[in-house]
Amino acid sequence: MTSVLPRTAPITALPVGWIAEPQLLRGIGSADLVDYRAHRAQSVPARRLSQADLLARLDTAGLAGRGGAGFPLATKIRSVLHEGSRLTPFVVVNACEGEPASAKDTALLRFVPHQVLDGAMICADAIGAERILVAITDHEAQLAVSAAVASRPDAARFEVCPIEARFVAGEAGALVAALSVGSDGRRNTAQAVPPGRRVLPSHRGVDGRPNLLSNAETFGQVAVLVGSSPAPAAASQAATRAPSTTSPRTAARTSTGTRLLTVTGAVRSPGVLEVPDGVPLAQVAEAVGARPSQSVVIGGYHGTWLPAAMLSELTLSAAGLAGVGASPGAGAVIFVGTDTCALAELSRVVGWLAAESARQCGPCSFGLPAIAQGVASLLRATPAGPTATGQLVLSRAGTVTGRGACAHPDGAARFVRSGLAVLAEDVGLHAAYGTCRRRDQGHLALSRSAALSRSLALSEAALSEAALSAAALSAAALSRAGGGGMGMGAHR
């Protein structure tokens, strides 16, 4: 129960902060909240809720999963309950945070683990699950959760499961495969790759049981919700009926409360931030000391590039981002500064995504490297113009979408498409001159420690010089091309 993977990386400092009133992170810093008694002393009493009561509260709040897909938790619970399996369900807490630009689940488990464990226990009691598996990749978080569990009166119901870190390890199917007891009677942590046939964990998950599998923050939000809100009046009626008639999308939009972000890139203070759902992006930029940015990546490396011009109008919620074709994903927000070569950043990350393929599926293991190679070639001067290469990349992005055991090719394709759309001007500069006179500053980091380090801080002078130089080049390119128009900006 307390097995922990050997440490593979040095401990990374993990700055946390908040805008407005913190809910999940409440009391952080005032006590060692890994200890159960300390947690209870500053939190509401532990509660057991009936199924109906919990579902009514979740429906009212519209709580959506915080792992990326934003699926309503109440719908997920109903699908576990209506499975009709004779086997007792499991609750599975997914804290396999494989995204380098995300550290929010790790922060929760390191600093306020009982918020997550309380929420998971509330769900387990409501759905009649005996066991709760907590799947964690971060070494420090494994230690914190093991200590946290040991201090709880209900420790026997938790199992802390270390998982090898990998980008695709947190995919639900991969996690189920990794956690299921193998023929040797042990949970196999080595095989965290997505299975060929998609089966919903709520239908058949770990050990063949129905699983309520969700992201760590989602369970933390359950604890906050149950601790803060009185029972809604119409509780019992609404909850016992079969699947909700509200569509998942509509339900997700009513989500309120807070949201965890991991804000990195061209900022003075990178870190994990608890914000009110729907916070203006500009307010987040101010809180972390964002430097002048040319674009922002929302939702991490399976997410969406957006031009900085949108910075002032965007709000961070499912509804606020849906209009621009983005979603909060798992809450990773990356500012791409004006001093970096964004095309080189894009190229580097796409190469990394290709390397992170589990190499199980042909379209992903051949397609992503081909896409990465195409993007890399856009960095070089091309007398004939970038259009043909750009079109080939976009066409390959279309080809790989939907053709894998998991959504890795889809996410990578979305990242590339939106990136090339936002960086059309840079693509033109590189085709003409082979450079935009900026270097890759590593704003899109490939490791958590790099993402959270503050060494990116450049002097303002160096920054404006690089930006000016690029602007001058850009003006030159526009006059040369007779008004620009590289023919790629329209593709999304």
Partner 1 sequence: MTASQPAANRRPATGASAMLAVDWTRCDGHGLCAALLPGAIQVDEWGYPILDQSELATRPRSELTRAVSACPALALRRA
- What is the residue-wise DSSP string for 81-125? HTT--SSPPEEEEEE----TT--HHHHHHHH-HHHHHHHHHHHHH
Among 134, 332, 423, 473, binds partner 1 (CB under 8 A): 332
Closest by CA to 250, choosing from 181, 190, 319, 204, is 319
364 binds partner 1 (CB under 8 A): yes
Q: Is 421 in the site for partner 1 (CB under 8 A)?
A: no
The torsion of the CA quartet 478, 337, 334, 403, rounded to 10 degrees, works out to: 30
The encoded tokens of residue 438 equal: 């900026």
| 410 forms part of the interface with partner 1 (CB under 8 A) | yes
> According to CB under 8 A, which one of 241, 403, 454, 492 is a site residue for partner 1?
403
Nearer CB in complex with partner 1: 97/339: 97
Q: Could you give the CA distance from residue 158 to residue 458 in angstroms, rounded to a whole number?
A: 46
Is 277 one of the binding residues for partner 1 (CB under 8 A)? no
Q: Which of residues 406 and 432 has its CB atom nearest to partner 1 in the complex? A: 406
**Pair 109, 116: CB distance under 8 Å:** yes
Q: Which stretch binds partner 1 (CB under 8 A): 180-188, 192-200, 424-432, 472-480?
A: 192-200
Q: Using CB under 8 A, pick the residue from 362, 381, 434, 492 that binds partner 1.
A: 362
Q: Does 123 bind partner 1 (CB under 8 A)?
A: no
Task: Single out the residue of 363, 385, 484, 489 in contact with partner 1 (rule: CB under 8 A).
Answer: 363
Residue 249: helix, strand or coil by DSSP?
helix
Residue 73 in contact with partner 1, rule: CB under 8 A: no
Amino acid identity, position 404: G
Size of the site for partner 1 (CB under 8 A): 48
Q: Is 351 in the site for partner 1 (CB under 8 A)?
A: no
Q: 116 is written with which tokens? A: 């997550």
Which residue, among 185, 183, 240, has the nearest Cα to 54 in the 3D structure?
240
* Placement of tokens 């894009």 in the chain: 346
Q: Considering only residues 377, 399, 453, 474, which one is a binding residue for partner 1 as defined by CB under 8 A? A: 399
User: Quick one: which H or E segment has residue 426?
Assistant: helix 424-433
Q: What share of the chain is helix, strand, coil (3-state, %, to 5)?
A: 45, 15, 40
Binding to partner 1 by CB under 8 A, coded x per residue (else -) over 133-172, reads ---------------------------------xxxxxxx
Closest C-alpha among 128, 87, 110 to residue 33: 110
Q: Does 98 bind partner 1 (CB under 8 A)?
A: yes
Whole-angstrom distance, CA of residue 374 vs CA of residue 420: 11
Displacement of CA 13 from its chain's centroid (Å): 19
CA distances in angstroms from 189 to 70, 174, 251, listed in the order given: 26, 10, 34
Among 48-56, 226-234, 306-314, 404-412, the segment contacting partner 1 (CB under 8 A): 404-412
Please identify which residue in 53, 59, 83, 99 interacts with partner 1, judged by CB under 8 A. Answer: 99
Show contacts with partner 1 in window 28-67 (CB under 8 A). Answer: 67
The 298-327 site mask, x for binding partner 1 (CB under 8 A), equals -xx-xx-----------------------x
- Nearer CB in complex with partner 1: 49/316: 316
- List interacting residues with partner 1 (CB under 8 A): 67-70, 96-99, 102, 166-172, 194-197, 299-300, 302-303, 327, 329-330, 332, 360-364, 366-367, 370, 399, 401-408, 410-411, 414
